[in-house]
Structures are given as C-alpha cells and as structure tokens.
Amino acid sequence: MRFLVPAALGLASLAGPLIVLYMLRSKRRPERVPSTMLWQEIGEPVSSAVPWRPLKLTWLLVLQLVVLALFVLSLARPFIAEATVLGPHTVFVIDTSGSMAMAGRFEQAQAAALDLAEDVSEANLASVVEAGPHPSVRIAFSSDPEAVAEAIRSLRPGGGAEDLSTALRLARGLAAPDRETSVVIFSDGGAAPLPEEPVVGATHLVFDDHASNLAISGFDAEPSTEGTIRVFVQVENHGADRRTVEVAIDIDGLPAGSTEITVDGLSAAQRVLPVPATPGSVVTARLVGADDALALDDRADLVVGGGADRGVAVVGAGSPFLTALLQSTPGVSIADADEADLLIVDGGPLPEIDRPTWLIRTETTPEGIDLVGLERNLAVTFARPGDPVLDGVDLSETVVAEAQHTETLTWLPLVSSGETPLVLLGEVNGHRVVYTTFDLTHSNLPVQVAFPILGANLLQWLGGGDAVSVSTEPAGTPIALLTPVGHRARVTLPSGDTQDVAPDAATFFDTDEPGVYRIDYVDAEGDVTSSDVAVRRFVPSESSGPSREIVGAPAPGASADEGFLVREWSPWIVAAALALMALEWWVGHQRPRFRRREVTA
C-alpha cells in the first residue's frame, strides 16, 4: 500500500491525548436518586483521590482509537496502482464485423470494454469508435462512465466486414493536444494485416474464440425451362467434421419446403430446388437446428426477378444503339408509343410526361432542371457510389463531346463531369424520369461495355417496383435513396423496426444487419406513393471467423506512469469510520432503550 499524503500519518499522535483523558477520569460511579433536596445543605465535597488511574482498556476506548486510526488513514489517502490500458484519453475501437459474432467474441469484448468504462473520470476521458463496414464515432471526450457504457451497450455485430483502417484514422483524429491519447482495439484482428501496422499508440485486446460453424454461402434464383423458379443453395462447413443440416425455404414468410444437405468438413455442398415463387416474391433460406457458433450466416434472402415484359417505345431521332439495347435487355420488348409502358425520347421537343420516361437531351428541359449553357469535351469524374443503377457499370473511360450545363435542386445527379450533370434521376407528374444531358451519339458511351448494363439498369429503375431492380449487396453497403419532392423515405429493417430518413438524405447507411430492407416513400399525408426493395447478405469471408493479433508500438513520448490506474481507498475507510462512530455512540450511551411513556388518566 502506498500513500498520496504520507505526512498525514503524523496525526496518529492524537491517540496520546485520548489515552490521557481516559487515565484522568474520576473513579466515582454515577448513581440515580429520586431528589437532591436532602443534599442542598451539604458543603463542597473534598476528595483525596488521585487525579489519575492506571489505564484500563475498554471497548469504548478501543472503538475510539480505531475510529481515530481510520480517519488518519483516510487523510493519508492510501492507494494501489493497478495495471490498465486507460490513459488520460482513451479511444475504444470496437469491432462489429460478422466474425465478431463467432462463439461469443463480441459479448466478451463488450464486457471488457464495460469494465474499463467504469474507471472513466475527469482524469481519464474516453471515446468510442465503432469499427464496422462504415466506422463512426459513438461518443467523444466523455468523463461520464455511464454515457460511455451506454455507447458501448448500443453496439451490435452485423453481417459486414470490418474497416479497422478507417476506424483507426477516426481514433487518431480524436487526439487532443492537452492529453496523451491511447487507442484500445477490441477485435479479432481480421484476416489481413493493416497498412499502418505496427499501430502506434494502440493496444489490441484479442478475442478469437472459435467453434464449428455452418453457413449459407450462396443463394440465387433463376427461371427454369419449364417456366418455374429454381433456387440454388450452397452450404459451407467451416468445421472439420462431416455434418448434415436441414435447409428450410420460405416464400414471403410462409414455409415452402425443406431439404437436407450433407457437407464434409472444410468444404461446401449445393442443392437446386424448384419453388412456387413468382416475380417479386421474397425467398428465404434458413438452416434449421444448426448447432454452430455463428447464427448470422444461417440465413440468406433474395427477391425473385423477372415478370412480364415491359413494352418500351423510342420516339425522336432514335439510334441503332438504342434499338440494340432494347433487343438485348431481358424483360423488355419494343412497343408502339401509344401502348408502351416506358418511353425513350431521343432529342426533339419535350413531350407530356404520362409514364416513366428516359429523356435524352430534349430541346427543353423538364420541370426542376434549368439549362444555363453548354459544356464541351467532358470526362466522367463522378458516379454516385452505392447506387444500384450503377451496379457493374464502369464509366471511367467515357467522354462526351458536348452536354447541356444544367442546375437543379430537386433532381439527383447520377453521373457528372465536374459541376456538369450528365445523367439525372427525378420525378415528373408522379412518374420516374431519367434525363441525359448529352446526345448518346456525341459520346463514346454506346461503344463502351458499360452501355448495355447502364441502359438495362435505367430501364429497370424506370419500371419501379419490378423485382429485377432489387439491389443485392454485402451487408454494410449503403442503399441509394431517390426521395421525391415533398416525400420522406421510411426504411423497414430486417428486424421489422422502421426508421424515418431525413428528406434531404440521398443514402441510407444503417445496413449492417443481413436481410431484406423495404424503402417506402411517404408523402405529407402519410400515404406511400412508391417503394423499393434492397437485400443485404452476410459477407461469406466472415463465416470462417478469421483472427490474428494486431501488432502495436508504443507512442513516442509516452509517460512512465502510463498504463497504471490509481485506486484510492479513502471513501471506503471513511465509510467504515462513520459506521464505527455510530457503534461507539451506542456503546458509550450504555445501549439506551426507548421506553413507551405511560399515560395516566
């Protein structure tokens, strides 16, 4: 035991006067008498007794000496120094990737972080960074242990991969100039070394418990030659033993059959099953009774594509490229303008928008887009990340000879060159509209590999609600939103909870949970005018539960006392002293008993 104020121990000398007082006490014994009237005439008594007597230990003296010793000890502030990873400012980087759900890793990491959070104070500030697919700061520079604990308790492992590099950059960005900042990483470490290893000023607490795991690593659907839908299911065994598992298939939440799959150790097995699904149906594959270490990868979802062909008509100048696009796009047929479901307007005057329409540099711009000039010799510099319309589309080699320079507050730029939008998404008269600011024949886009993919995606988006336009990506991938003017997006999560998104938000990021996300666009009256569906799946590489130790390095100029936490005993000692004082009062007053007062009539 060590003392912060050792000089206070000198106050123990007060025990001497206390003992002297006990030796000077009179030997006379108090006696209770009914009246003092008979002794009023008696003179002042004279005593021949000595003013002191030999010291005799009593319980009262012992209690008083112990109370005095405790108060002296509390003033000396005894403490012990415990080894700790906390510093003047500690950033908790907590991994919420899919592999952290393996065999209770995340629960252990969360418990360890909560234990450290109990020691947060004005002297030991703390911040919390979530290290999931999209790292974020949950709380910063807090001295409140309960607030830090609540931020830790709010974290959940998802189905995506960790981004520890970005999380560590966020942690370094929280460094304070007036405090030494250290980083504690609660993680299984992932599979690959970080670019910045060894990580300076960081301590890695490794959580790498492992157990046998089965996972659905592949799930897809396709139409058969008989006109039915078949689903492909792949189950992967990450353990060494051969196992047999039941795979149940649900359609729109209702049971639709099951099958058993036997998988050898460290291998995979597949099945192809016919299912009574229709275009737009949500099909789910579940592992039933799989006793394994990771439950998040025991389920996969998809939305069946296809459906009746949509008739598309081309009006205006037209081009062989558009004709070839329509002929090669599944689910699309060429139709007359009067009967078409979708319309492509290639130049010419702006028509009345009475159906989903793709406008290609018309003479006048649609409502909400202002034409301010022309721009020449443009290269694509921006393609909206995460947007399903751009899935599989590479526009890095695309150049445009001339395009309209437009400005808009209500349309969404999908592809741009600097401040010049090239492709915009919007809505006119309640119909989805694509506006291309350049003539396709005045660019190299039609001869790019990306053109048929982009064209098919645009037609699928214009179809709105067609299952083929469903975005299926790994968990953690953002969902692009196209919220009409005067509407707000409402997202239903796989758990069934709903989240209202800000009207100006273009992307929904909270997609770590695997499953089906439904996006409803709600108007001011609360009516749903249109909906989209997105599927997010567990990242297969996380199913094996990769783990390793992250190499750390001490921070330059770290203090010698860093790594120790001072725990004082004074509060407990004072509490014990007060309890003994109460006991001393009880003993000193001869254990008084409360008597009931008798009332006489």
What are the tens digits of pLDDT across the range 336-375? 988 888 999 999 999 999 999 999 999 999 999 999 999 9
Question: Which neighbouring-strand residues pair with 199?
Answer: 552
Q: Give domain 215-303's CATH superfamily.
A: Immunoglobulins (2.60.40.10)
Of 60 and 233, the structure prediction assigns the larger pLDDT to 233
Region 379-386: what's the mean pLDDT? Answer: 87
Q: Residue 370's CB: how many other CB atoms inside 10 A?
A: 10
Asked if 293 and 211 touch (Cβ cutoff 8 Å), the reply is yes
The mean pLDDT value of the chain amounts to 85
pLDDT score of 15: 74
Q: How far apart are CA 550 and CA 204, in angstroms?
A: 6
CATH architecture label of 85-210+552-562: 3-Layer(aba) Sandwich (3.40)
Q: How far apart are CA 424 and CA 365, in angstroms?
A: 11
Predicted confidence at residue 307, as pLDDT, reads 53
Fold entry, domain 471-542: Immunoglobulin-like (2.60.40)
DSSP 3-state of 409: coil
Tokens matching residue 31: 């006696």
Mean pLDDT, range 10-24, rounded to an integer: 75
Six token digits for residue 253? 């939440």
Q: What confidence tier does 600 reach under pLDDT thresholds 50, 70, 90?
A: low
Q: Which residues of 505-542 are buried (b: 16+ CB within 10 A; e: fewer)?
A: ebebeebbbbbbbebbbbeeeeeeebebbbbbbbbbeb
Matching residue, tokens 């799959």? 261
For residue 466, pLDDT beyond 50: no
Question: What does the DSSP assignment read for 153-185?
Answer: HT----SS---HHHHHHHHHHT--TTS-EEEEE
Amino acid 108: pLDDT: 96
User: What value does the mean pLDDT take over residues 192-196?
Assistant: 88
pLDDT at 561: 44
- Integer-rounded Cα radius of gyration of the chain: 38
pLDDT at 52 exceeding the cut of 70: no
* Residue 463 in tokens: 């179809």
Euclidean distance between CA atoms 477 and 508, whole angstroms: 9
Tell me the torsion sign for CA atoms 379, 413, 330, 360: negative
Is 178 a residue whose pLDDT tops 90?
A: no
Q: Is the per-residue pLDDT at 269 higher than 80?
A: yes
More confident residue, 578 or 314: 314
- Give the tens place of pLDDT for each residue, 128-158: 999 999 999 999 999 999 999 999 999 999 9
The pLDDT value recorded for residue 153 is: 96
Confidence (pLDDT) at 468: 42
Looking at residue 467, what is its pLDDT?
Answer: 38
pLDDT range class, residue 232, cuts 50, 70, 90: very high
Give CA angle at 419 (414, 425), nearest 5°: 25
- Give all strands (DSSP E) within 63-107, no chain letters: 78-83, 89-95
- Quick check: 51 pLDDT over 70? no
Read off the pTM: 0.65
Token pair of 287, please? Answer: 């592992």
- Classify strands 369-379 and 399-408 as parallel, antiparallel or unpaired: antiparallel
* pLDDT of amino acid 164: 94
C-alpha–C-alpha distance, residues 345 and 359, integer Å: 5
pLDDT band for position 213 (50/70/90)? very high
Output 544 or 583, whichever has higher pLDDT.
Answer: 544
CA distance 131 to 99: 12
Q: Inform me whether the pLDDT recorded for 306 exceeds 60.
A: no
Residues 6+ apart with CB under 8 A from 188: 95, 97, 99, 100, 102, 105, 206, 207, 208, 545, 546, 547, 548
- Give the span between the Cα atoms of 387 and 382, in whole angstroms: 12
Decide if pLDDT at 563 tops 70. no
- Nearest-angstrom CA–CA distance, 215 and 261: 12
Whether the pLDDT of residue 562 is over 60: the answer is no
Task: Indicate the angle between helix axes 320-328 and 450-463, nearest 10 degrees.
Answer: 70
pLDDT at 226 over 90: no
Between 221 and 569, residue with greater pLDDT: 221
Please state, for a pLDDT cut of 90, what percent of the chain lies above it: 50
For 33-188, list the strands marked E by DSSP.
78-83, 89-95, 125-131, 136-142, 181-187
Write out the E strands in 49-98: 78-83, 89-95
Tell how far CA 19 is from the center of its chain: 64
Give residue 565's pLDDT.
54
Mean pLDDT, rounded, for 168-184: 90
Range 508-515 average pLDDT:
94
Residues of the chain with CATH 3.40.50.410: 85-210+552-562
* Region of poorest pLDDT, from 10-19, 34-43, 93-102, 109-118: 34-43
Q: Specify the pLDDT at position 557.
A: 60
- What is the predicted pLDDT for the residue at 580? 78
- Does CATH place domain 310-465 in 3.40.50.880? yes
Q: pLDDT at position 6, please?
A: 74
Residue 257: what are its φ and ψ, rounded to 5°? 125, 175
